[in-house]
Each structure stands twice: as C-alpha cells, then as structure tokens.
Amino acid sequence: MSPVYINSAACISVQDTLNENFFSNLKPENSAQILKAIEPNYKQFIPPAASRRMSKTVKMSSVASHFALKEAGIENPDAVIVGTGMGCSQDSEKFLKNVLENNEEFLTPTYFIQSTHNTVAGQIALGLQCHGYNFTYVNTSSSLEFSLLDAQLQINDDEASNILVGSTDEQTDRTMELYKLNNTIKKEENFPVDYLNSKTDGVIWGEGSSFFVLGKEKTESTYAKLTDIQIINQLDLNETQKFIEDFLTKTQLTTQDIDAVILGFSGDSESDVYYKNASEIFPNSSQLYYKHLSGEFNTANGFSTFMACHILKNQEIPEVMMINNIKKESIKNILLYNHLGGNDHSLVFLEKT
C-alpha cells in the first residue's frame, strides 16, 4: 500500500495544544481522577445560537477540524471520516434523563437526533457544505486507526485526494460516576499515579478532539508520512513482541530501525504489562509515553498521533514524554502502540518526509 501524507494536525486536549508554544508548556497530571479539555472561545468559530445546540464533542471537533483544514489550505475536503468511542454521550444522557423524568411521554426529539455517533461528522460536513463521503467509525480505542486506514485506502484507490480525518470523545457526569463505581477510574487513595510503575488498577480519564488532513501529495505543511497501520482485537501478552516484529517486517524494518516508540502507559497495572513487554524489544530507541498529559480515553491515540507529527516535523522530543535517556540526532520514524484495557491493540507507523 502506498503511503499518504499527514498535511495538517490540530488538537484540543487537556493541554493547551491550540497554542503555538504548547510544546514547551506541557504539564503532566497524576493526582486527579478526571481531566477536562482546555476549550477555546467557541464564539470565535461558531455562532452562539448554533453553539448552544451543540454538545461539547461537536464543538471541539468543529474547531479542531477548522484549524486542520486551514493549516492544510483546504476549504472543502473530498471526504470526512471521524472515529469516536463514546460519540455524543452528553446528548445521549440528556435524552435518557428526559425519558425517565417524563415517564416516556411528550419527549422532544432534539437530544435523540443529536446523540447519534455520526453527529460529529455530519455537523462538520454541514458546516463545510461537503457532499462527499462521510463516515464514522466506532471501534473503541482503535476508532482513529480504522478512520486513518479507510482514508489511506481511498487515497490509494484514487477515490479522494484530501480527506479530513478526526477522533473525538467527551466526558459526561453519569458515565464518569459509573467508571468510578466499576474501578475504570483510579481511586483517590491511589494518587499520585506512577504511570510507568503503577501497582494499582484504573486510569485517569481525559477527553479531547484531534483532526488531520491526509493527502495524496506532500505539501509545505506536511508533518509526516503515514506508512502503515495494524489492528488486532485480542492479543496474548506473550504475543506482543511478535505482533510488533511481524508488523515491522512488512515494512522491511526491524526494531533497530525505529528511532522513537510511543507507548500508551495509562497507570493501569493490569493492562500496562503489554507496554512493558513491548518496550523490551526497543533498547536502542527513544521510548516515550503520553497519557500523563492527555488522560486515558477511547481516542487518546489522537493526542499521541498529534504529538508524533510535531516530533517528526520539529525534530524535537519533549523531555516530559521521555521514558529512557536515548536521543537520536535525527528522528526519521516513529511507531505508536496503543490499546485500551488490554483490548483493541493498534500499531501506527509514521515517517519523516
């Protein structure tokens, strides 16, 4: 499969990633159960009347996609593809609450209409008047990877030249309460969290929205070359290293050729063993982590992809992301490895252009 180019990258996250100087102002968080995204002033991008009817994830995605398209110099993409794990869960909760409070009678359909997972992609297309391919992937933690793979296939098949690809997830009060009850979110007595050597279960939960423009041709704004993607739902711990090595063999590389590997350490002792196992085969690579900056959520890998793009373009790795002390003079390629709770393992390979 031919590579495609990531020609722009925009992100709204727990960090101030819309700020040009965010690289030097990254702040790790290890003592809060839930991390909120730093949101922009939506009035600058969305009319107030429309903004009031939008959920948080739709607003974050609208602004992030605006920045991604602007940076790529694209007014109207050939397609819009969005990956999300939870979709518009705020509106889903509002609709269900109305059902209960009104005894299933006299319900307004607005919250129901806006609660579907494909609302984000639809709203972006409506705003752009984009009549091209419009699709949403809901595959938990590999939703972005499926979106990127779809875009790569379409560009390779000459069905599109420029595609807007994004990932987004928001928090809701009730869902966070449930995550605390079932110990998905780490208990307060287990703070502060040692992400790399945690002895307790659970994670710090985050949120965010990341958007990229994938193109057939390299441009002045190009960040990286998207070379290959691999996804598998279930993986035994003892298969982790072979999974990665077989993936690299496809691209005629070995683990020695990887300049930097970004691992999704989340502070959950039960599932982080996969990352520890994987790190053993990269003794000569810069090993990085990121969920102490973004929090864990279904599409947290959007944040890692965004960071990888900036690392390749700037040829600089933020100290706060470093696991080991290895620094390469030139960063030519980066491997991203992620999963959520030990399921839906994904590998994304990016190269410097």
Position 158 scores a pLDDT of 95
Give the strand pairing for 333-340 and 343-351: antiparallel
Residues 102 and 238 in one domain: no
Are residues 25 and 16 in contact, defined by beta-carbon separation less than 8 angstroms? yes
Residues 121 and 267 in one domain: no
Residues 24 and 91 in one domain: yes
Residues 328 and 210 in one domain: no
pTM: 0.95
The yes-or-no verdict on residue 3 having pLDDT over 90 is no
Residues 297 and 258 in one domain: yes
Q: What is the spatial distance between Cα 301 and Cα 212, in angstroms, rounded to a whole number?
A: 13
> What is the SS3 assignment for 199-219?
CCCCECECCEEEEEEEECCCC
Residues 85 and 114 in one domain: yes
Q: What is the spatial distance between Cα 52 and Cα 206, in angstroms, rounded to a whole number?
A: 23
Q: What is the spatial distance between Cα 214 and Cα 222, in angstroms, rounded to a whole number?
A: 9
CATH code, domain carrying 315: 3.40.47.10
State mean pLDDT over 105-116.
77
Residues 59 and 143 in one domain: yes
Give the strand pairing for 333-340 and 260-263: parallel
Q: What is the spatial distance between Cα 211 and Cα 65, in angstroms, rounded to a whole number?
A: 5
- pLDDT single digits (tens) 303-348: 999 999 999 999 999 999 999 999 999 999 999 999 999 999 999 9
Q: How confident is the model at residue 115 (pLDDT cuts 50, 70, 90)?
A: confident
Residues 323 and 306 in one domain: yes
Q: Which two tokens stand for residue 64?
A: 């992030």
Q: Which two tokens stand for residue 289?
A: 């982590």
State mean pLDDT over 78-104.
86
Q: Which two tokens stand for residue 188?
A: 């307060």
- Listed residues 215, 236, 263: the one ending a domain: 215
- Listed residues 159, 185, 215: the one ending a domain: 215
Residues 105 and 211 in one domain: yes
- pLDDT single digits (tens) 26-54: 999 999 999 999 999 999 999 988 888 88
Position 89 scores a pLDDT of 81
Are residues 61 and 211 in contact, defined by beta-carbon separation less than 8 angstroms? yes
User: Can you give the residue range of the structural domain that contains 73?
Assistant: 4-215
- pLDDT single digits (tens) 133-170: 999 999 999 999 999 999 999 999 999 999 999 999 99
Residues 194 and 245 in one domain: no
Angle between helices 119-128 and 56-72 (to 10 degrees): 50
Total residues found in the chain within this entry: 353
- pLDDT single digits (tens) 233-281: 999 999 999 999 999 999 999 999 999 999 999 999 999 999 999 999 9
Residues 109 and 257 in one domain: no
Residues 131 and 15 in one domain: yes
- Listed residues 168, 189, 215: the one ending a domain: 215
Position 100 scores a pLDDT of 85
Q: How many domains does the chain have?
A: 2
Q: DSSP states of 114-167 as a string?
A: HTSTTHHHHHHHHHHT--SEEEEE--GGGHHHHHHHHHHHHHHTTS-SEEEEEE
Q: DSSP states of 10-27 as a string?
A: EEESSS-TTSTTGGG---
CA distances from 61 to 21, 75, 91, 128, 263 (A): 21, 16, 15, 13, 25
Residue 264 is given by DSSP the state -
Return the percentage of the chain with pLDDT > 90, whole number.
Answer: 86
Q: What are phi and psi of 42, to 5 degrees?
A: -65, -25
Contacts of residues 242-250 at CB distance under 8 Å and 24 or more positions apart, as own/partner, are 243/345, 243/347, 244/278, 244/281, 244/335, 244/337, 244/347, 245/281, 247/347, 247/349, 248/335, 248/349
